[in-house]
Structure 1
Amino acid sequence: MSVYLLRRLIQAVGVVLAMSLIVFVGVFAIGDPVEILISPDADQMERERAIKALGLDLPLWQQYGIFLGKALQGDLGRSFVFNEPALTLIMQRMPATLELALAATFGAILIGLPLGLYAGLRPNSVGSKAIMAGSILGFSLPTFWVGLMLIMVFAVQLGWLPSTGRGETVTILGTRWSFFTMDGLAHMVMPALNLALFKISLVIRLTRAGVRETMLMDYVKFARAKGLSPFRVTFVHVFKNILIPVVTVTGLEFGSTIAFSVVTESIFAWPGMGKLIIDSINVLDRPVIVAYLMIIVLMFITINLIVDLTYSVLDPRVRLEGK
């Protein structure tokens, strides 16, 4: 296990370094923030002074070297717009995005697993066919359209749920959370559902495929021949063996939910990292953009490692030390 962890950490360092270079060069090429940040009425001397203050007068390789050196010390740069550390800005918005991603992921598991299990155990029933048809809709409908329809139906026409914002929050350990207030939960329902629709469909199809494949295995037939109850066969012999692909995809999708919650946060005015990155792109706030992308890379690496380690818990046959 220790050798595996060491190898994965070395790989992670290489990936982070490569991505930092790609991200930095890519962000540098998307435009000139001076044109947006500095008033058009400013004279040339003021412009040059501002450019020097922002460090934009240095060659690209030198800017990258300064960024990398500071990043190793935990400093991912200072926002051009807010004049605050980019990491601080992102960390202030991260709890909002994390709780939205957690709500969407848990919702996908709680809804998708039972539906997929039912569809796999009774593939020819009317209910199973309806579930699979619904999963196709979950894959096909665009997120922005679903979000707008949710607002129009449940907020505008029915008035059941608030349309935008995060709602009331409580501070726990210095961090604001809306999980623990009824108003916060009401504000979270629609954006979490909007994020979860694709993942519900994915979990349904993965679970159904896993059940259909596992039901044909010899050990399941043997368990039935021994006279075990259908409940025990399903939840002891079948369910545990279909969890590995579900855990893998769900773990990776959790990272995707965090990274690509931009559309949902913009539609529902959810004050998370996605909303921050959109605002930063609009004003070419390079330090915030680079810091956000680097944090997303680190999240994906961490989630991949956690998923790999979870394998050994779900199935001891999986050898982490394998070639």
Structure 2
Amino acid sequence: MKEFDLIGRYFADGGHQRKDVIIGIGDDCAVTSLAPNQQLAVTTDTLIAGVHFLEDTPARSVAYKAVAVNLSDLAAMGAEPAWISLSLSLPEFNDSWLEEFAAGLYELTQYYSVQLIGGDTVKGPLALTITAHGFIPPKNALTRSAARPGDWIYATGSLGDAGAGLDILQGKLNADYTQRDFLVNKHLFPSPRVAAGTAIRRIANACIDVSDGLIADLQHILRASHCGAVLHVDKLPLSDALISCVGHDQAIQYALTAGDDYELLFTVNEEHKGILETSLSSTNVKATCIGQITGQGGKLELKFNDAPFAAPEKGGYQHEF
């Protein structure tokens, strides 16, 4: 199939249609209208087969996760998503794969009222790049560099599930049917915390999404904010499925180091701590206090019931070049 026939068949007319898209797919550029009194947030992520997802990952999950990780980046900044563009590299034409892929793509964009406005398709190794755009009111953007000593550290949802799900898919971990279904789905179909991100943008100081692992991503905040932290590992939010599958001690290790959870990790000062639960009440997302920012530049201390806890040798995922 020719490139433009492929675009027209699977991507040109599907998905959510927004009124602020003046010209969408089909021209050399998309043209959009910027909302008044809003700033534009832009993020880009590339997913490559064999690096970011397993070669046999279902096409629906590949597309769904590609959208989710970009929306998660917007959520970590407190932005409301609006548009995405897609660059897709395919080794060959496969109708059923593309049908599944398009379904996964539109599943999430429909839910969050996001429109696909353009991109590119090429023949090559399986890979895709998504650029996502969103809106933030002026002076409301959450960053990694605004944590302050005394801030409380929170994490949404539960941690470590996606990492365990990946190990199950790779045959490194055994699980019964219920545990497997829950943990594998957390890996294949992560939930970007968009509503939570917009709910906390006037409350939180610093924020990041947990993509590389809790320790690694918390250290990004500490380096950017020139602070330290105490992390109470006995307070980490762990799912029943993860604990049942691997036991409490190993569940802590997954929560500390496994990536792909795409939960929000953020800091809140004492003054705003009391209104956090109220702000999140309409999002159906729970946030758990797991530590506190200190003034010790860059030093991260782990404690279990106030006793020192040995940091894992592996602190999280990093690309190596």
Q: Same fold (TM over 0.5)?
A: no
Q: TM-score normalised to the size of structure 2?
A: 0.22
Which structure has more RCO (C-alpha within 8 Å, separation ≥ 6)? 1
Q: TM-score normalised to the size of structure 1?
A: 0.22
Q: Which has the higher helix share?
A: 1
Q: Which has the higher strand share?
A: 2
Q: Answer with 1 or 2: which has the greater Rg.
A: 1
